[in-house]
Chains A and B, each alone.
Chain A
């Protein structure tokens, strides 16, 4: 069946790619498809579903299921229009965009009927080439930086691994030492205890005098017995501990006071006791270190006893030489054990931190590792966003108010084939009638590292954009010069 000839349009089109080359082909047909549009015979729909007179190609009436008979008109719902876009890049646009008054092709050929568009390909091409040059320059710069990052990451990794090895060796060694040190401590403390028991000071020490003085002061009615009521007259001594020490009798004489209560009340009555001050000043560096450690983990380091050779503690009574020697020996053993335990803990903390960091996936070449343990901020009109990569994302309103967690490190979350293009942070502060906040951080190539954008595309779902050289890829040689046609 061959119906009557079409009433509309037959459109061989002259397309000028460059002024020198002239190719005649039906409108909207890509050069690669040209062999299928042979005017010498009937046109076979490209899907093979049918065949029509060639004059029916581009006659503004859809005959083929696949729309291939109307590449240059909007007649077919699923047709594609090819534009050459000389000076720029060729495109294939839906044929339904042909002659709709909107410029889809920079050469304007999609609007051949409406005439709505000028050919802007050269200008667009120039702009795009310039932009491509710029972005290629950026990418090259970024890629060079990235290579350095990769190198540094490798070095840092090696360094960390060797540090880890050293720490692990130290741990083994410390663990081996702990047993003997504990035994030595036990061994030294037995004789010390016995010696202390035996020992009686010949005359009241300075401390005993202080106790007597305090007893006299506290014994309000001067009857030689200190009662609960008398104690309660001193609010600074308030406390269950002290009351318990008073014992069931409810009152104590001066001797019992010295034995049982003086140790408890001494500091409260005389808060600026000089030995304490001295002790605090002794090792400031170590103190600071401990505080830092405390922030890191919940473990408490036992108080450090004063070290040997720095004078006996003031509160110690005077002992005879032999006793004192035993006490000193025990103290040394305790100190040695404590020092070893401390070293062990430090080593374990170090191992844990290193293992965590070394276990992180910092990209195929470790290029993202430099982001670890750093944070970046971005200020928008309303909020201050803070990203600590591989840790957390937070948001703080600028006009005051509490910080909100937008999520904790979850995983790499780039699309397939570009896993390292994005990161996911999850389990942030919960939303009203909604889920917990979560953030996607998309990574984009740049010469520096900076947060570039922060959005909340949907309630409680955030999107940050981090520029980093680590996200740069190597460009193929001559990339920026490449241009079709």
Chain B
């Protein structure tokens, strides 16, 4: 929806003028962020830290070793785990902290199971630990402290090899008045400040360390007109990771950036700090609405991940020893044998918290995403309708407008699943209410939509209008559930409704209260057909520093906002999703779209790339952005189709529909000040192209849903970079203008104006690909020039795969329920293919709680298509059947036999006849499967 400064106070928007560009001055550079400046000034070199190897304690799961800073003599505690499934965890904190530090709760699914650690070697200055059965070993070097992680004799990753471990130990203020300790109330978060101190096995606190030179900004920092009181002074942490052999790193969304991250030398590091950035630009390392501190690295035969579990403001520097070298230069190095091995350096810097790192050791790309999924959870299985098309605008004005827009979809035979209402629907931006003049009968409106198998999403933002007549406000104030200022008053800032307060979603009681607000008798006018959109949950505070909350604001348990800023939005998302589940008695899956996110947000629903712009650059960047989201677990990603700000021309609008139809979350949305752009406002020719794109989306919904099921079960992204499926083909490593949908379709949307053709890279030695529309076969690998017209969406099905489709163009996903499937069997050069289909009721949790699902596996070989169960746990009666099998890669076969192995609970089957029809030679038939 709406960037903070949209149409809001003149004194803020003046500087933006009419030009369309982010105002960088509103947001900090590394130099303006005290801890980033301090840390970045430290150059690689000898680390002042040494590991006291003799302090090693080997528990059943964890090994602990003390580290000590030779300059300050402050001791730290290093903990090491070898986790099941090729994950190594290391955590560093102060041995005797003045106050407990924030350890991010509610992200990990639980305590990840650990393998038994063993000391397998020891010599002077080095200790070798084995990390379980994966063959991984960890070398701990005493002085200077470093860690080297090996698999057999291969070095995977080194830690603190460049000596950039930073741990600003907590100190007392040197002036007379030390700050009060955090309040430390009862019932604090699981690792609240009051229960952390002394909980580690510590010796007596060390001698008072020597104080380093104080620099300005250490105990108080001012940005623009905002002062951060920093009562606890500098507490930042940082660590470097060296990745030998790696030249390609990815992840750490959200940035409007290419898929492959670029070296940051000479510029700012990538910043992770959830911010409402008005009219963001592409190709910058600036922070955006969400943060996932997960970085992936890939080279042939090996993928790794680094998950830095910290919710404070974080900056990530990427260094590369091959950056800037031409291919020829690298070749020369190689031939002369004098070249260094390519290596990527990654340096994390966070303002506060502890160092808590998970090294995900792959080795395959899908292993890394699965490892991350086991730690933080996988994408929630979306209700099927949410994979359909969403029509949004700021704002559909009233019930008549909603009715008219939906009628437009009917009249023009365009499928539609969800209509959206932005902030103007509520009574004075009091969320959970309806404007009585514009939406006098929301229930009636929802029932009309539901009668046509459609749904609605209304926005519920986490800023609450300060208004004594608004129940949400009066209750939250009475229950004392708002975020506090440093002085203990309710924190208030300016947002859409004017003066607003911010519920403290880090408080479980707050989340509980919020979830209950979604009950049908609490959220008046809501029905089962109403779902939710959480916007502005960075949180956006128009009047705050960098358009967000003051870092010295106070949360539940006494924690400062600075400790947990990046996870605030996740908690909003979580509480809302919980509310939608609860209102159905735990029966139905929620759908919640969130703009802010953190590691783990994938468990609660969908995310999108925020307030983009109607230009070709933003269309192009939507692909790498969603690919990065997917690598970081957030599979249900989309970008506002058409672009949020400004008006797209018809060509851009059509191209955006075509691209959006092949991205996971498919929603058109537009700013209040843009012209209306419902598809029928285009010319009939352009409208027909939009209709065609929508129908292609709907026909492929079984494939989408099956892909989401794979993601939900295995943590593998729905929208995948090519290198995930072709990990040994370096051509694919930096590609982000094309991608794979699951493993079956290669999509290369047209994103250039006036395009006459696109170059599509078809990967896979000895493989073939089939044009999805013409069924023409192409050998791989090759770069194929595909001529395009405005109607073309270059999509290719991989030889050797089977995809399910439902080709009947219904008005919504729910109207497709029970429609028959068509299998598209694309043969490999060997004449075989396989694929699968996942089906359930599309809406409830019965698939999980009652195994009410069907997961079929299809295999084609020797003229026989075999359907078998891919998961014997699942069973469900479905009215759906198989109406057609289209086989790509053969002429008219002699015969084909379809078998189902005579399994229980399946419909009959028969020998199918070949017919020459609309799709060429196909198997025509009707059978259960």
Q: Do A and B bind each other?
A: yes
- A449-471 contact mask (Cβ, 8 Å, vs B): 1 or 0: 00000011111110000000000
**CB <8 Å contact, B810 and A100:** yes
Pairwise interchain contact A100-B673, C-beta atoms closer than 8 A? no
Assuming the contacts A457-B676, A459-B673, asked whether A61 and B808 have C-beta atoms less than 8 A apart, the reply is: no
User: Which stretch of B104-112, B246-254, B507-515, B909-917 is in the interface?
Assistant: B909-917
Q: Is residue A77 within 8 Å, beta carbon to beta carbon, of the partner chain? A: yes
Do residues B673 and A102 form an inter-chain contact, with CB atoms below 8 A? no
B810-853 interface bits toward A, Cβ cutoff 8 Å, 1 = contact, 0 = none:
11001111011000000000000000000000000000000000
Measured in the bound complex, the distance between the Cα atoms of B881 and A75 in whole Å is 13
| Residues A61 and B926 in contact, CB atoms below 8 Å apart | yes
Task: Enumerate chain A residues within 8 angstroms of B913, measured Cβ to Cβ.
Answer: 3-4
Across-interface contacts of A384 in B (CB, < 8 A): none
Count residues of chain B with CB under 8 A from any CB of chain A. Answer: 39
Q: Are B924 and A61 in contact (CB under 8 A)?
A: yes
In the complex, which residues of chain B have a beta carbon less than 8 angstroms from the beta carbon of A94?
Answer: 413, 809
Nearest-CB distance from B923 to chain A (Å)?
A: 10
Distance A75 CA – B807 CA, assembled complex (angstroms): 9
**Which segment, of A12-20, A343-351, A426-434, faces chain B?**
A426-434
- Which B residues lie within 8 Å of A8 (CB)? 926
Q: Could you say which of B674, B810, B820, B916 contacts A459, with CB atoms under 8 Å apart?
A: B674
For residue B695, which residue of chain A has the nearest CB?
A77
CB-nearest residue of chain A to B919: A62
Q: Which residues of chain A are within 8 angstroms of B674 by Cβ–Cβ distance?
A: 458-459
A142 sits at the interface (CB 8 A) = no
| Interface contact B811-A100, CB-CB below 8 Å | yes
A74 an interface residue at 8 Å Cβ cutoff? yes
- Say whether, besides A102-B453, A434-B673, A63 and B808 are in contact (CB < 8 Å): no
A74 to B672: give the CA distance in the assembly, Å.
38
Given contacts A62-B918, A74-B819, A102-B452, contact A3 B809 (CB under 8 A): no
In the bound complex, CA of A457 to CA of B398 (Å) = 10
State how many angstroms separate the Cβ of A357 from the closest Cβ of chain B.
Answer: 34
A96-B811, A102-B452, A457-B401 known; A63+B917 contact, CB < 8 A? yes
Q: Nearest residue in A to B807 (C-beta to C-beta)? A: A77
How far is A74 from B915 in the complex, measured between Cα atoms in Å? Answer: 19
Given A7-B910, A433-B673, A459-B674, A102 and B815 contact (CB-CB distance below 8 Å): yes
Are the CB atoms of B924 and A431 closer together than 8 Å? no
CB proximity to A under 8 Å, residues B132-167: none
- With known contacts A1-B916, A74-B808, A100–B453 Cβ distance under 8 A: yes
Known A102-B452, A459-B673; judge A3-B401 contact (CB<8 A).
no
* B812 nearest CB across to chain A (Å): 8
Bound Cα distance A4, B915 (Å): 10
A65 in the interface, Cβ–Cβ < 8 Å? yes
- Asked, given contacts A3-B915, A381-B437, A458-B676, whether A75 binds B808 with beta carbons under 8 Å apart, the answer is yes
Bound state CA distance, A352 and B676, in angstroms? 40
Nearest chain-B residue to A103 (Cβ)? B451
A101 lies within 8 A of chain B by Cβ: yes
B15 near A: Cβ within 8 Å?
Answer: no
B890 surroundings in chain A (CB, below 8 A) = none
Number of interface residues of A (CB under 8 A): 32
**Binary B-proximity of A44-72 (CB < 8 A = 1, otherwise 0):** 00000000000000001111010000000
With A3-B913, A65-B918, A102-B451 known as contacts, the answer to whether A459 contacts B811 (CB < 8 A) is no
Q: Flag whether B327 is at the interface (Cβ < 8 A).
A: no
A96 to B699, CA, bound (A): 13
Considering only residues 768-818 of chain B, those with a C-beta below 8 Å from chain A are: 807-811, 814-817
Q: Is B268 an interface residue (CB 8 A)?
A: no
Contact, CB under 8 Å: A432 / B815: no
Cβ-defined contact, A77 with B809, below 8 A: yes
Question: What chain B residues lie within 8 Å of A75 (beta carbons)?
Answer: 808, 883
Report if B210 contacts A (CB, 8 A). Answer: no
Contact assessment for A455 and B673 in the assembled complex, using a CB-CB cutoff below 8 Å: no
Within 8 A of A (CB), among B653-691: 672-676
Chain B 862-883: CB-based contact to A (< 8 A → 1; otherwise 0): 0000000000000000000001
Shortest B895–chain A CB gap in Å is: 13
Taken residue by residue from 1 to 31, chain B's Cβ proximity to chain A (1 for < 8 Å, 0 otherwise) reads as 0000001000000000010000000000000
- Which of B676, B808, B820, B924 contacts A96, CB < 8 Å? B808
Which chain B positions have C-beta within 8 A of A456? 397
Which one, A96, A455, A458, contacts B810 given CB within 8 A?
A96
Nearest opposing residue in chain B for A96, CB measure:
B809
Measured CB to CB, the closest approach of chain B to A9, in angstroms, equals: 9
CA distance A455 to B402 in the complex (A): 13
Asked if A61 and B883 make an inter-chain contact with CB atoms under 8 angstroms apart, the answer reads yes
B386-428 residues at the A interface, CB under 8 angstroms: 397, 401, 413
What is the bound-complex CA distance between A447 and B507, given in angstroms? Answer: 62
Report the separation of the CA atoms of residues A74 and B819 in the bound assembly, to the nearest whole angstrom. 9
Nearest CB of B to A402, in Å: 16
Query: A7 touching B918 by the CB < 8 A rule?
Result: no
Report the nearest A residue to B20, measured CB to CB: A433
Closest residue of chain B to A434 (Cβ to Cβ) is B673
Q: How far is the CB of B279 from chain A (nearest CB, A)?
A: 11
B764 close to chain A: CB less than 8 A = no
- Select one of B413, B673, B910 contacting A432, CB under 8 A: B673
The answer to whether B925 has its CB under 8 Å from any CB of chain A is yes
**Cα-based distance from A458 to B695 in the complex (angstroms):** 27
Among A65, A381, A431, A433, chain B packs the most CB atoms within 10 A around the CB of A433
The listed residue (B18, B397, B814) touching A101 by CB distance below 8 A is B814
The answer to whether A458 and B910 have CB atoms under 8 Å apart is no
**Contact in complex: B675, A60 (CB < 8 Å):** no
Interface positions of B (Cβ within 8 A of A): 7, 18, 397, 401, 413, 437, 451-453, 672-676, 695, 807-811, 814-817, 819-820, 883-884, 910, 913-918, 924-927
Contact sample, A vs B, 6 pairs, CB 8 Å cutoff: A7-B926, A62-B918, A77-B809, A97-B810, A101-B453, A456-B397
A3-B915, A96-B413, A458-B674 given; name 6 further pairs at CB < 8 Å: A62-B917, A96-B808, A102-B453, A381-B437, A433-B18, A455-B397
Chain A: residues with CB nearer than 8 A to chain B? 1, 3-4, 6-8, 60-63, 65, 74-75, 77, 94, 96-97, 100-102, 381, 431-434, 455-461
